[in-house]
Amino acid sequence: MSPSQQVANQSPPRAVVLLSGGLDSATVLAIATARGYECHTMSFDYGQRHRAELDAAEKLAKTLGAKTHRVMNMDMRAIGGSALTDNSIDVPVSGVDENEIPITYVPARNTVFLSYALGLAEVLEADNVFIGVNAVDYSGYPDCRPEYIAAFESMANLATKAGVEGHRMHIQTPLIDLTKAQIIQQGLVNGVDYSLTVSCYQADDLGRACGVCDSCRLRKQGFSDAGVVDPTLYQS
């Protein structure tokens, strides 16, 4: 039974939604809300270059009706190894090579994010965690693949008190098989204002995008393929 089919006077089921402030996770939040979940959003301040996305996440949580929003402070810089957290590595602007894992990959990032979400879900007695991974446009990231998500879900159900007591935890990935254009179409149907989202790996303090990094290129192409005017604010 989907939550929206439940009788009206039951309280809605809770979900934890990972919200980066980007296009994908904003769409996920809108989808989870449309499906009837009471959404609790979680963002991460992990020393990323593109800090404007944290402001974007806060705005999106409000406009898309999240019940609570949390920013977790963490320390990916102490681990290093990615252009997104290590200032000595340049953000690439030359396009995605489908046979290589991009240098913007942050080691174990989705695993860390999902682990925190799992902890919060347990405290809130939420049986669902939503994450905006996508295996189509970002196939270079190992932790965006369906087999990875399935393995995380199996582990999660052994990790927690809730799992031991018989509550199944579900990791929901509503975007996993969608193209960027399809994601944008889903978001527009569910009321996402994409001018509030920040996807750029090196956005400025005002959230304006560079227009040339891999993330900007994929996003631009998505709006073009969807036949929708691109509302992104660019630096020039």
**Are 64 and 58 contacting, i.e. CB atoms less than 8 angstroms apart?**
no
**Are 149 and 173 contacting, i.e. CB atoms less than 8 angstroms apart?**
yes
* Residue 143 in the binding site for a second copy (CB under 8 A): yes
Consult the annotation and say whether 39 binds a ligand: no
Contacts of 138 (CB under 8 A, 6+ apart): 144, 218
* Residue 58 in the binding site for a second copy (CB under 8 A): no
**Are 171 and 129 contacting, i.e. CB atoms less than 8 angstroms apart?**
yes
The distance of closest approach from Cβ of residue 57 to a second copy in the complex, given in angstroms and rounded to an integer, is 15
Of the candidate spans 23-31, 48-56, 105-113, 198-206, the one that interacts with a second copy by CB under 8 A turns out to be: 105-113
Which of 59, 67, 70, 170 binds a second copy (CB under 8 A)? It is: 70
Between CA 18 and CA 109 the distance in angstroms is 12
Between CA 30 and CA 60 the distance in angstroms is 9
* Residue 159 in the binding site for a second copy (CB under 8 A): yes
Which of 4, 154, 224, 235 binds a second copy (CB under 8 A)? It is: 154
**Are 38 and 67 contacting, i.e. CB atoms less than 8 angstroms apart?**
yes
* Residue 96 in the binding site for a second copy (CB under 8 A): no
Cβ nearer to a second copy, comparing 79 with 188: 79
Consult the annotation and say whether 22 binds a ligand: yes
Closest CA to 212 of 94, 106, 107: 94
* Residue 83 in the binding site for a second copy (CB under 8 A): no
Q: Strand, helix or coil at 144?
A: helix
* Residue 135 in the binding site for a second copy (CB under 8 A): no
Between CA 54 and CA 73 the distance in angstroms is 11
Consult the annotation and say whether 81 binds a ligand: no
Judged by CB under 8 A, how many residues of this single chain contact a second copy? Answer: 43
Binding-site residue set for Zn(2+): 200, 210, 213, 216
Residues forming the site for a second copy (CB under 8 A): 70, 72-76, 78-81, 101, 105-112, 114-116, 118-120, 122-123, 142-143, 145, 147-148, 151-152, 154-156, 158-161, 163-164
